[in-house]
Amino acid sequence: MITIDRTQPRHYNGTHFALSQIVQAMMSTPFYGSEADKERGHDIHTLFRLEVSSITPEVAPVYEGYYQSLCMLTKLLGPTPIFTETPSVSSISYLPFGGTPDFYGWTERRQERVLTLIEIKTGTPQRWHPIQLMAYHKLELYKEAKRLLLVYLSAEGKPPKVVTVKHNARDWAAFQSALNLLIWREG
C-alpha cells in the first residue's frame, strides 16, 4: 500500500518524490496554479471519477459546462476503469517518484478496446502536461498502457480536446533532470 504524506520531503512512502514536486522544479511555478484552480480541478476530477464509475453525480451549476464536456468524452471513449486516482510509484528503481493518474482502463478506438491512461485538465494546455502523462506511464501500475490521452474539458460545455501523447526523449530527459536536481538538493 502506498502512503502519501505531503509533510515529508519525499511525499510517496517517504521514499519517492511526488510528480508535482518534480514539475515544480522543472517549471519554477506552482503545479496547481491558484487555490481556485486547485479546487476546481479537484471537483471536476471527482465528477469524472463518478461518471466513469457509472454513478450520476450531483453537479454544481458552476461546473455544468465542464460536466457536459465530460459527458461528451465518456460517450466518445466509452471508458471502463481499472483504476481511478490510484497512487503508484516508479517502475524504474533509480527514478524515485510517484504519482496519481486520473484514469487507467479500457477505452474505445476504432471499434477496439485499448488499455488507456487519461489525464483530465480544466485549464489551458501547459508545456509540462505531456511530460506528466509520460511519467505516469513509468509508474508500476500503469506501465502496460497502450494509449496516453490528455483531455482538456471545456467550461462552456463544448466537446473536449483530446490529445494523444507520444514519448518525447527531450521532455523525458528534462523530467529526469528535474528529479535528479531534487535528489541533489537533499545533499
pLDDT in tens, 110-137: 889 999 999 999 988 999 999 999 999 9
Structure confidence at residue 3 (pLDDT): 86
Residue 64 resides in a domain: yes
Number of domains in the chain: 1
Task: Determine the Cα angle at 119 with ends 42 and 6, to 5°.
Answer: 50
Classify residue 70 by its DSSP letter. H
What pLDDT is stored for residue 1 in this prediction? 81
Residues spanned by the domain of 67 = 33-167
The model's pTM is: 0.91
CA dihedral 10, 12, 17, 19 (to 10 degrees): -140
What tens digit of pLDDT does each residue of 35-87 get?
Answer: 888 888 889 999 999 999 889 899 999 999 999 999 999 999 999 999 999 99
For residue 46 the three cell numbers come to: 471527482
Kind plus residue range of the DSSP H or E element containing 183:
helix 169-185
Would 25 be classed as within a structural domain? Answer: no
Whether residue 1 is contained in a domain is answered as no
**Residue 181 carries which side chain, given as an amino acid letter?**
L
- Which residues touch 146 (CB under 8 Å, ≥6 apart)? 114, 115, 116
Q: Confidence band (pLDDT; 50, 70, 90) for 6?
A: confident
Look at residue 185 and tell me if it is in a domain.
Answer: no
Q: What is the mean pLDDT of residues 81-94?
A: 95
Could you tell me the sign of the dihedral formed by the alpha carbons of 150, 41, 129, 158, in that order? Answer: positive
Structural domain contains residue 61: yes
Indicate whether 89 belongs to any domain: yes
Which contiguous run of DSSP H or E holds residue 116? strand 112-121
